[in-house]
Chains A and B, each alone.
Chain A
Amino acid sequence: MSRLEAKKPPLFISEPLTRDTVSQSLSLLSGILKSCYGPAGRLKHLHNGMGGYVCTTSQSSAILSHLSVSHPVLRVLMASVQNHISRFSDCGLFTAILCCSLIENFKSLNVASCTVIKISKHLLSLCMDYLKSEACGCRVSVDFSSVETLLCLVRSILTSKPACMLNKPEVDHLTMLILKAFMFTVPYCVETNAVLGKCVIVPVKGRRVVDSRVLPGLLIETPEIQLAEPLTVKRTCSNMIKIALFSVSMSGDLFNPEEGTIAVHHGISLEMSELNQLLNVGKQLINDEVGLVVCQKVMHPSLKQYLKENHVITVDRAGLSLVEPMSRMTGSKPIASIHSLSPGCYGSLKDVCIESFASKHFVHLIPNDTVVCSMILCNRNETAWDELKRICETAEHVLQLTIKEPLALLGGGCTETHLASYIRHKSYSLSTSSFKEIDCSQTQYQLVADGFCRSLESVACSLNHDDGEVLTDMFYGHCWFVPSGFSSVSNWSDVVSKCGCGINGNTENLKWRLLQGQFGCPIAQGCPKEPSVKVADFLTLDCFAAKCNGLQVALETANLILDLSYVIEDQN
């Protein structure tokens, strides 16, 4: 008997941001994310509390996908950050911390939220215009004809996550590898629609990081060497190896209709007829002079035996992730049926060989021209390997974004503080007509601008995790860190050596001020200057595209959340 229950009325929560639970959760989330930020960030153990795998990380992608928050306000925030991460891989923590900070700072202002939103949009456009202009003092252009800047960019990404447990030589080794892998994926001849290739990461856990390598082509792991060395491969007349790539299972099991049953007379074996079909395919492959058969899934042992007897190399269980790059690399079309084979679906390879690495054996497919490469990535234990893999993927993605837009932003908090001092300067030199346009008073504008700058600065402050001070200078607007134990020093220039990004040294008297806890800040300053030397060897750099987008996402999400007046929850 079914029971009918009256529908519960939906729950209305008005002004969700004013609730204690929301602001507590928000500050807790912001606290977690801030504590993760930067090369000295603290790590989090993510686990289920019942034993089993523990993920140790300080990456936003891992943490956010592990957090399932209950409150809609937080869910909106996390969803937009995750969306940013999926598009740019980098600057996830920056986006999330900035967004939390903006919400907290704007909320505490005594200004109507619609005005705040209008002003902050204006501030954002000022920032974006500045970042995209030639005059921008916190960006450097990336020269692809030399590796220095690229190395800095990759190295900054690698060192930003301490859970990878890398020491200096290891960072250097991996930086070179990542760059090398990226270079492999850039096609030789650039046409109008150049498409970057792909770097496939091959896991080898338990080995030293310096054992990592990059190889052109693809590696397919085979559980044991069924193949005798040296490999004798059938070649076509043009000395190429013809390859057939199957994306369909060749294990000889039956096609599985969703429902209904098949009735079979006794004595008829469906398995046998399926196997016969597979063997027919095998026969055709042999006739077509195929030298290598790769199957994404499992191949029937009898088919493997049959092909082997006819000197065709078989590799099965290649996995879904390899199908697309392999198809790209060999020019073959993945075959999705064992009933029809068209001769046009075959691809070609230059060579095939066996690579043994650690205790693993791989079939190495060597293509004619390399836009696909494999990176054998090693790290000592699983949790550090996982972190390293995520960061390598991020680095590859950042390089791809950078080749489209060859710019980078100064890292180490300098972009944030520089931008803040630019906005501070700009907000005081705005004409009255602009205030009219936005429909706000100058005081309102400056209040919001101050909140905006504090939020930016609080992101820079989040880089500091031990007791110590964070400074900014009045000349370049860069970010400087004072180690703990020096708080009482009267002259900051005695204790700082370099700014966060490493571009400015402590050479001139720069007039520092504390970033945290200040009341009013001295406004009497000009526009922050561009550093005199633009190229330095060991700079901390951030991805331009990712940070610009992060800034936009953070502000727009903060505005959206500030604008929430009701949460309607369906309780059924």
Chain B
Amino acid sequence: MPLDPLPFPPQTGWKKRCCLLPMAFRDMNARRHIGLQQLSSLALAGRTLLGPMKSCKFIVDESTNQSTLIGSAVRLIESLDLTSAAGQLLNETIQAQNKEFKTGMSTLLFLIGAWSNAVLECLQQNVPVSAIVSVMSEGLNSCCERVQCLQISIHDVNKELCSSSVRPNAFKSKTCQIGHDSLLNPQIFLYFQKDISAPEEVIPISSCSYQEDGCNSNKCLVSPLAGLGSIASLVKPAGDKSTSVISGSGVTTSSCNKLTHSRYFSTLGKSHFSSQQGNFQGYFSGQSADPCECYGFGHLAMALSHGNQASVKLLQSVVAYQQERAECSGSSQFNIAEIVTCCLLGLPENYSCVSPGFVTLVSSEQATVIKHFEDKPLRILLMDGDLTEQYRHLGFNRPCNVRTILEHPSLWEGRAGDLWLSSMLDILINFEVNLVLVKGNVCKNLMERCIANSILVIGFVTRDVLRAFGEVTSTQPVTYLTQLNASCVGSGAQVELWKACDGRAMDLGELVPVRIKVQGIPLLTAVLTTAVASKMQLIEDQFWTLVYRLHHALNDKNVFLGGGAVELLCLSHIQMLAEQPLQPANKNAVKEFHNPWLAASATEYKSVVLQALASGWKQYLSVVMCNTAKAASELEACTTVDHHLKKAADCGSPSAYILKEFRRGDLLRGGSGPFADHGEGLKVYDNVTAKMEAWRRALDLVLLVLQTDAEIISGPKRNQLLNSHMSSEFMFL
């Protein structure tokens, strides 16, 4: 007589998916775990997004026929159908990483897929779930501890990068030449062509071309768009103009080639900071005396960029500006809250630059107001709600049962709205407000009246911008205009039409970019330009990714050696763990918290499960090598990795070997590919926390799904399931 009357004892794995009444209950714990299969297939879509050379994807919305270019796992996940439970958890995991770090999402997505597959294989080999869970999570822990030795402090990195900056400089000037010719150079153009025709499941896009000419490191001559050909002629005049800037600065401060290459910086000094010119000049000269100090985190930004050249230049300008400010005011050296972006569609990409102050788009009617302002200092008002008659602060409940009695209807009919308009306008005029920044929406009629009265009202201003203006003018935002008193109005704001590096104001159809600033405001706007609408999002994402990488590197105070060094050490460490004789579990159990279900069976399956853990990183390395064309096939890549692992093991100290190879710039470099020749000397670093958190989150998700044996579905969906042809797969309670 069986003790347990269950028709399907949980130990054997339920063959049938089950579903209960009002809630549906579905079992997923067959040997072929459905949840893990879902994870693995979803993650497959993100393979090409891995590594510094991403192949971007076009996401086409079939209903509107609009398409956007995506280059990150977050955007990919946003556009996938994720109604399954595992899909939802995947989405949640990617979003959480994005919210926290803004980087590492592609790694996360890839490892989720790779580890799901590896775990599925373990299940095929009858490894018990508890053994997989305990060995994998302890293996990851052990690896995370092991790779700590590949951390380098920011200070050391800076010193190293700056001291070796002589060689890159030579390299830079060489590539500048290449870049100069590149518009005509048929050979380079060939690369672009090749990339465009690269096979990819979604329509391929020449992200490589974008990256490649980034690698050519020409700061100003080649537009990143050059690969797209048709814009090239449009780009040229601008390029020509900045050529002179470069040659000029190149002559004066040769040791600071890199910085002065940046045309934004020159523009900064010239157009926006005419009053501070002297100050900046001093800064420049100080720079040439001590090339490293001046650069601050510029080198680091480059080393963290992983080939994202266009953003590097913007970030370097940001860093240089903030550094300069920090020296004056003693504020923090790099503050992401003081950076905003403004996307200008329709300008070639080499118009991207960093402008101090707040750059935003206004309508052409509003732009006419600016002409009235000329150069006079403006009185500025900040509002943290909407500027409409109906708006009330959050949490205010409108009374629904109040009736107003009019005793003389004819006098007041239809005038209520007008009354509000004129009283609001009166307030603004009385306080002599010229400029209003509003967090939310602005009433159209009021906007018109304000324009007529030469008051510029700008809506949808973000919180960070309001805060920056609030701090510098020492005013507080108000919610209603009726709250206004003299202390709420700041002064000294300036508004002008935003001018591109060539000194021209831009008119992008209906919208005009304007620049608002107050003396001493720390706010910087990265103006991102592109002529291709579907690329806008991509460019903005890439910029922020890099900004956050630098931010996290400074927060961590350390960076990892990049270019696969960390993953390689993990692999060699796992090799060592697997070869270790069975850990004396009994002895350990005395010391550690006793967990007989996990510890006992784990040792038995240790090497199988550790291999599964290792396979995630191995695939990661080989896919990165394939994506960057350092290896022709995954097989070749795996051979290279194995070769390194063997040498590392032979050498006795794997970390020393990896460090040595990293210094030689020889890590995981295949023999072929277009980068083999000029890639050396470019050190690559990674974020510490972001990377290890991505690993941990990936493994957590896989193990969470692995340990799940059933879905319990409740709500209206239950009825649909009950009546559908799938009802036999469920059990109802």
Residues of A within 8 A of B (CB): 25, 27-32, 34-35, 38-40, 42-54, 56, 63, 66-70, 74, 104, 108, 155, 159, 162-163, 165, 167-169, 171, 205-208, 224, 226, 249, 251-254, 256-257, 259-266, 270, 297-298, 300-302, 305, 308-309, 317, 380-384, 412, 454, 458, 461, 463-468, 480-485, 495, 497-502, 516-519, 538-540
Contacts and interface: CB of A to CB of B under 8 A. Distances in A.
B707 A163 contact: yes
Interface in B682-733: 693, 696-697, 700-701, 703-704, 707-718, 720-721, 731, 733
Contacts of B403: 261-264
A249 B403 CA distance: 23
B195 to A, nearest CB: 36
Given A47-B713, A263-B405, A483-B128, 19 more contacts: A29-B733, A42-B129, A43-B708, A46-B711, A47-B711, A49-B24, A206-B96, A249-B395, A253-B399, A262-B402, A301-B479, A302-B479, A302-B482, A381-B96, A383-B704, A466-B129, A483-B600, A483-B604, A499-B596
B652 interface: no
A464 B22 contact: no
A465 B130 contact: yes
Contact of A67 (B6, B133, B480, B733): B733
A308 B478 CA distance: 12
A171 B593 contact: yes
B405 A381 contact: no
A165 B704 contact: yes
B18 interface: yes
B314 interface: no
A16 to B, nearest CB: 15
B141 interface: yes
B44 interface: no
A264 B11 contact: no
Q: 10 closest Cβ contacts across the A-B interface?
A: A298-B395, A483-B601, A49-B717, A502-B594, A466-B128, A301-B479, A48-B715, A42-B709, A45-B85, A40-B597
Contacts of A104: 5
A464 B11 contact: yes
Nearest to A480: B596
A53 to B, nearest CB: 7
Interface string B365-400: 000000000000000000000000000111111111
B537 interface: no
B605 to A, nearest CB: 9
A68 B407 contact: no
Nearest to A309: B487
B704 A51 contact: no
22 contacts: A27-B6, A27-B7, A31-B8, A31-B9, A32-B25, A40-B133, A42-B129, A45-B89, A45-B710, A48-B715, A49-B721, A50-B717, A52-B88, A69-B20, A262-B399, A263-B405, A300-B393, A301-B479, A380-B96, A468-B128, A497-B586, A518-B3
Interface string B24-44: 110001000001000000000
B463 interface: yes
Contact of B709 (A43, A454, A480): A43
B401 A257 contact: yes
Contacts of A48: 713-717
A517 B2 contact: yes
A565 B3 CA distance: 26
A386 to B, nearest CB: 11
B583 interface: no
B137 A381 contact: no
B579 interface: no
Interface residues of B, number: 103
Main secondary structure of the interface of A (DSSP, over half): loop
Contacts of B716: 48, 50
A42 B133 CA distance: 12
B167 interface: no
A76 B353 CA distance: 69
Contacts of B128: 466-468, 483-484
B587 to A, nearest CB: 10
B585 interface: yes
A51 B92 CA distance: 11
A480 B648 CA distance: 43
Contacts of B704: 43, 56, 163, 165, 383-384
A79 to B, nearest CB: 15
B714 A66 contact: yes
A264 B405 CA distance: 6
Contacts of B591: 538
A518 to B, nearest CB: 8
Contact of A498 (B7, B487, B596): B596
A68 B713 contact: no
A300 to B, nearest CB: 7
A253 B592 CA distance: 59
B406 interface: yes
Contact of A206 (B35, B99, B130): B99
Interface in B122-155: 128-131, 133, 137-138, 141
A332 to B, nearest CB: 22
Contacts of B82: 51
A383 B710 contact: no
Nearest to B399: A254
A108 B597 CA distance: 31
B593 A168 contact: yes
A274 to B, nearest CB: 10
Contacts of A466: 11, 128-131, 597, 601
A390 to B, nearest CB: 16
Given A25-B733, A163-B704, A317 B397 contact: no
A421 B617 CA distance: 50
A382 B22 contact: no
Given A54-B88, A483-B601, A317 B700 contact: no
B402 A270 contact: yes
B394 A298 contact: yes
Q: Considering residues B8, B130, B133, B394, which has the most beta carbons from chain A within 10 angstroms of its beta carbon?
A: B130
A52 B591 CA distance: 43
B3 A516 contact: yes
Contact of A205 (B96, B586, B596): B96
B396 A251 contact: yes
A35 B27 CA distance: 11
A561 B271 CA distance: 85
B467 interface: yes
Contact of B593 (A25, A32, A155): A155
B130 A261 contact: no
B209 interface: no
Nearest to A69: B733
B713 A380 contact: no
B249 interface: no
B331 to A, nearest CB: 14
A301 B96 CA distance: 33
B130 A498 contact: no
A458 B3 contact: yes
Nearest to A305: B483
Given A48-B714, A49-B24, A49-B721, A256 B399 contact: yes
B656 interface: no
Given A256-B399, A262-B402, A465 B11 contact: yes
A297 B407 CA distance: 37
Contacts of A224: 463, 467
A52 B92 CA distance: 10
Contacts of B394: 298
A67 B711 CA distance: 12
Contacts of B93: 380-381
Nearest to B394: A298
B586 A159 contact: no
Nearest to B401: A261
A499 B589 CA distance: 11
Contact of A42 (B399, B479, B710): B710
Contacts of B3: 454, 458, 516-518
Contact of B92 (A34, A69, A207, A381): A381
Contacts of A226: 476
